[in-house]
Amino acid sequence: MWKLQLRRRLYARRVAGTALQQSWQAPLPSTSRDWRRVSFLVVDAEMSSLDINEGELLSVGWVEVENGAIPLESARHYLIKAEKSVGQSATIHNLRDCELSEADTRAEVLQRFLDAAAGKVLVFHNASLDMAFLNGVSRREFDAPILMPWVDTLLQEQALLQRRDTPIKSGDLRLQACRDRYNLPPYPAHNALLDALATAELLVAHASHRSGGQEFPLAKLL
């Protein structure tokens, strides 16, 4: 975590007095701590395009993982007011312009996200995509990236298959394909909250499988 702390210091003056600084003040977990004693915030987002230069965030959902379990009362789902029409992307995420016209602003949702994420390790399935859009909103609001530790279940599953010398075919790392390997049930895709819950279940199954009931440090998931 020291590299993360160092990067935060570079932005300290820039974010002084903001919600991002307040979120950074929460202590980060030790990487040697067993994963069941780490607080995770599992996050998913829906966008109008996969291109960060063209798309914008339309919804964000998250749920916590505490003590190796998923407290469903922690689940949150927020729609975000779009600046442009969602266009053809509505056929994927089923979010229409009329549903987003009275939604929360990006700044409001970012504030809630930072409050929920303080002191936790973020979890995504394909973190590079979600983090690119979340960092884009953070840079717009605070002129700084979010800079929080994160776990990518896609990369963890990829590494696990590689260690087993299992050939990875197209589609093998999709969220439901990864869940299938742990006999987790199918969920409808492209809903931020359902995808966050599906990723949380995958995290618990993956970490439980690898730990075998023994101590399993956070470092092996990062």
- Domains of the chain from N-terminus onward: 20-220 (3.30.420.10)
Q: Which neighbouring-strand residues pair with 60? A: 45, 78
How long, in residues, is the chain?
222
Question: 3-state DSSP call for residue 140?
Answer: helix
Stretch 209-218: mean pLDDT: 95
What confidence tens digit (pLDDT) does each residue in 189-199 have?
889 999 999 99
What confidence tens digit (pLDDT) does each residue in 103-160 have?
999 999 999 999 999 999 999 999 999 999 999 999 999 999 999 999 999 999 999 9
Distance of alpha carbon 214 from alpha carbon 120, whole angstroms: 22
The burial class, CB within 10 Å (0-12 / 13-18 / 19+), for 161 is middle
Angle at 45 between CA 77 and CA 194, to 5 degrees: 55
User: String of b and e for 15-34 (b: at least 16 CB within 10 Å)?
Assistant: beebbbbebbeeebbebeee
pLDDT of residue 19: 96
Nearest Cα residue to 130 out of 31, 219, 199, 178: 199
What confidence tens digit (pLDDT) does each residue in 67-100 have?
999 999 999 999 999 887 777 776 677 787 777 8
Amino acid at residue number 61: G
